[in-house]
Structure 1
Amino acid sequence: MDIVALIGRILFVALFLGSGFGHLTQAQAMAGYATSKGVPQAKLAVQASGVLIIVGGLMVLLGLWLDLGALLLVVFLVSTAVLMHPFWKETDAQAKQMEMVQFLKDMGLAGAALLIMALYAGYGADMGVTITGPLF
């Protein structure tokens, strides 16, 4: 099962690593979108969130305090869901549906990250190839 857990971690973090590098290489374009959503200091927020998800993703991928890495991803996902996808503010039905899908995706991924955190805290090194044991 170690290999299955490792493959699961690789598949899980692929999204975050790609997105994180996008946050850093396309910060100006993403900052424009974040500004339109009312995010203060949007460019800095985009860059900081890029670093957050790259660090969290690498920690989960490598099994380096995997529980802390998963928690960093939860912080990113929940804050992104609330700040960037507030479907409850939309009046247009199509826009509302799109924002709801993105909100629920982020919350679902946050739930998966919490599950990874909880499982790793319970099983530790028995949950796949890791560098360290749980921090929490």
Structure 2
Amino acid sequence: MIKTILLILLGLFFILNGINHIVNTHIYEEYSVKRGLVSPRLMVQLSSIVLIFDGATLMFNFLIRYGVIGLSIFLIIASFSLHQFWKEKDNQLKLLESMHFAKNMAILTELIYIAYS
């Protein structure tokens, strides 16, 4: 029962983030341009689809392993291409990016645990 509730909440987290990518595409696109991402607008749009679809797999307990794989790939790509704290010169930006990187790695660890439990 607890696992089901937690999966629903985690799925909802990803779905809401995907919706946020759609609603605030311009903000995510600007951030992606600053980070040197290839085709920033397309990447933001694709990431919103991945977040919503794969979040739904967790929320509805359907094809969870595929959802975990998709979200894991997304988190790895986002972490290493967008949150490169090791390249930041400004200490505040370095701290902010390192927190985003660490958050993504924590969520990735949780997803791997879900896939194998």
Report the TM-score range of the alignment, normalised by the length of the smaller protein. Answer: over 0.9
Q: Which residue of 1 aligns with 2:54?
A: 56
| Residue 8, structure 1, aligned to residue 6, structure 2 | yes
**Cα offset, 1:29, TM superposition:** 2.2
Per-residue displacement from partner, 1:2-38 (whole Å, max 9, x unpaired)?
A: x211101012122211110111222122111111111
Q: Which residue of 2 aligns with 1:31?
A: 29
**Cα offset, 1:50, TM superposition:** 0.5
Mapped partners of 1:75, 1:36: distance in 2: 22
**Cα offset, 1:84, TM superposition:** 1.0
Mapped partners of 2:13, 2:61: distance in 1: 17
| Residue 92, structure 1, aligned to residue 90, structure 2 | yes
Aligned-residue sequence identity (percent) comes to 26
AA at the equivalent of 2:66:
L
RMSD: 1.0
Q: Which residue of 2 aligns with 1:131?
A: none
Runs of 4+ in 1 over 6 A off after TM superposition: none
**Cα offset, 1:63, TM superposition:** 1.1
Of stretches 96-105 and 24-33 in structure 1, the one that deviates more from structure 2 is 24-33
AA at the equivalent of 2:41:
K
What is the TM-score when the length of structure 1 is the normalising length? Answer: 0.82
| Residue 69, structure 1, aligned to residue 91, structure 2 | no
**Cα offset, 1:105, TM superposition:** 0.3
**Structure 2 unaligned regions, length at least 5:** none
Mapped partners of 2:90, 2:23: distance in 1: 32
Mapped partners of 1:26, 1:92: distance in 2: 25
Match of 2:108 among 107, 110, 114: 110
| Larger RCO: 1 or 2 (CA < 8 Å, sep 6+) | 1
8 Å CA contact retained: 2:12, 2:56:
no
Structure 2 residue matching 1:40: 3-state secondary structure: coil
What is the TM-score when the length of structure 2 is the normalising length? Answer: 0.95
How many equivalent pairs are there? 117
8 Å CA contact retained: 1:68, 1:117:
no
**Structure 1 unaligned regions, length at least 5:** 120-136
